[in-house]
Amino acid sequence: MPRRERNKFVKRGQILDLLIEDYAFGGKGIGRIRNEHGEFVVFVPNTLPGQLVKAQVKKSSKTYAECKLLEVIKASEDEVDVPYQQIPGAPYIKLPIEKQHAYKKQSTLELFKRIGKVSNIEDKFDEFVTSPNTFHYRNKMEYGFSAIGYNHELKTDVNEFTLGFKKRGTWWCGDNLNNDSGLFDKQVEDNLKLIRAYCQNTGLAPWHAPRKEGFFRYLVVRKSYKTNRLLFNLVTTSYDLPKFNLDAFAQYLVELFGDRVAGLLQTTNDEIGDRTIAITGSINLVYGEDKIVEELLGLNFEISMKSFFQTNPKSAEKLYSKVIDYALDDKSAIDDSVVMDLFCGTGTIGQILASRSNNTKIVGVDIVASAIEDAKENAKRNGIEGLKFYAADVGKFLNEHPEYNNKIKTIILDPARAGIAPKTLKKIINLNADRLVYVSCNPATQARDTEQLMQSGYTIKKFSLVDQFPHTAHIETVFLFEKA
């Protein structure tokens, strides 16, 4: 077996100081190492051109390396001061929003040229849809407890009761959120340090990630923009639960936030994995209600703690409006017909489409049973008829319902980040629909699927980009494909 050639530029684990020179899709800053061996490309996520950063090599090949960002040593000249505590979830909050949009558009178009093989992608571009709220746009936030904190002055880990987010680049170290991050609810985040002090004063321990032990794990908060109310979920282990007065904690939240508190839930999670809701855990209502109501485009949706719902509802209205516009681009293909809404989640798109068309039957399919139950309840609440929702794997559903072959003119696709499995995409293509409206939260997998759709006779009529998550690298895409 030939010996693997040693990389002449970097080695795994090496810490580098890099000037970021360019930007690639997904928020990957591009740095370059130049020496007597030539030039070598290094990708560092969550960085910007003009920044000087400290990064650690995670993996490398002969032609490039991928790094983990450890620290921004010097800001880019494009960055400006903002009155918010910076957090890992908003790496570009200091970059003016117009420049964020430019980076997102340019890198996404390049992605579809490279992966989707769409050479004329610029000709198909319709619109860049901006978020109505640049700041405080999120309706859900998960704050983690940790027994290990970070001292920014000493630049080292310390034993400390923390409540906030993971320090960038670590899985074991928390970083306190002491005031508004600019992403969620200002009143909640300005008071988070008081909630932390309340929990610390109980004497019960926060989660210690390396030891896999502790009591306090997460505080999850959902917010309704329609009612301005808050739903809290305290996630703990079960071991010391009798020692913690949940009723008193609920009253403390009411003291802080008044009648904005819709309810408090307590979730038990004894699993060692790093997630809020455990498969084997329980969730109990402590105070108030277990759901809040949100409105999208005139329709009401009940949201529980487990429900999937768009994180930026005001931008989601714009996203869904674009999807509906594309679906109704040929209204004759919608009225008096059956539309398939695949990977439908809680059925939001299908309900809106049904409410804006004539005698349209919607068939919604999603593998998440609880989402389908929410979809059925929401349709009933909104008085929308002509909807059928199925809890099933999309590929298996299409196998079991061949009666829809050649009967569907329009399909709406809104898959998860992983995109559409190749076998499932072939089954969707075999339905032989005239048009596909394909929504994606991960353009990389959509670009991959685009190549297969084009090889199968579909062409791109138009597409738009929707900025659902300002200050991050994420961008949503909406494509309208038509049979050639």
Strand partners of residue 364: 341, 389
Tell me, yes or no, whether 477 lies in a domain: yes
Instruction: Quote the CA–CA distance of 458 and 104 in Å, as a whole number.
Output: 25
The answer to whether residue 5 scores a pLDDT higher than 60 is no
Domain holding 269: CATH number? Answer: 2.40.50.1070
330 is in an annotated binding site: no
Q: Is 441 a catalytic residue?
A: yes
If asked whether residues 334 and 423 sit together in one domain, one would say yes
| Tens-place pLDDT, residues 131-179 | 999 999 999 999 999 999 998 888 899 999 999 999 988 889 999 999 9
If asked whether residues 214 and 317 sit together in one domain, one would say no
Sole residue written with tokens 């790093």: 274
Choice among 173, 199, 344, 441 that is catalytic: 441
If asked whether residues 475 and 388 sit together in one domain, one would say yes
Reported confidence tier of residue 1, pLDDT bands at 50, 70, 90: very low
Write the DSSP string, 396-440: HHHHH-GGGTTT-SEEEE---TT---HHHHHHHHHT--SEEEEEE
270 is in an annotated binding site: no
Number of structural domains the chain divides into: 3
Reported confidence tier of residue 362, pLDDT bands at 50, 70, 90: very high
Instruction: Quote the CA–CA distance of 446 and 106 in Å, as a whole number.
Output: 16
- Residues 16-25, mean pLDDT to the nearest whole number: 93
Percent above pLDDT 90 for the chain: 75
If asked whether residues 47 and 169 sit together in one domain, one would say no
More confident residue, 70 or 160: 160
* pLDDT for position 4: 52
Tell me, yes or no, whether 1 lies in a domain: no
Tell me, yes or no, whether 304 lies in a domain: no
If asked whether residues 451 and 469 sit together in one domain, one would say yes
Reported confidence tier of residue 63, pLDDT bands at 50, 70, 90: confident
Domain holding 433: CATH number? Answer: 3.40.50.150
If asked whether residues 243 and 361 sit together in one domain, one would say no
161 is in an annotated binding site: no
If asked whether residues 54 and 18 sit together in one domain, one would say yes
| Tens-place pLDDT, residues 97-130 | 999 999 999 999 999 999 999 999 999 999 999 9
If asked whether residues 326 and 417 sit together in one domain, one would say yes
165 is in an annotated binding site: no
Q: The domain containing residue 65 runs over which residues?
A: 14-79
- Residues 319-343, mean pLDDT to the nearest whole number: 91
Beta strand 216-223 with 140-151: parallel, antiparallel or unpaired?
Answer: antiparallel
More confident residue, 416 or 257: 257
- Our measurement of the distance from residue 100's CA atom to the centroid of its chain's CA atoms, rounded to an integer in Å, reads 17
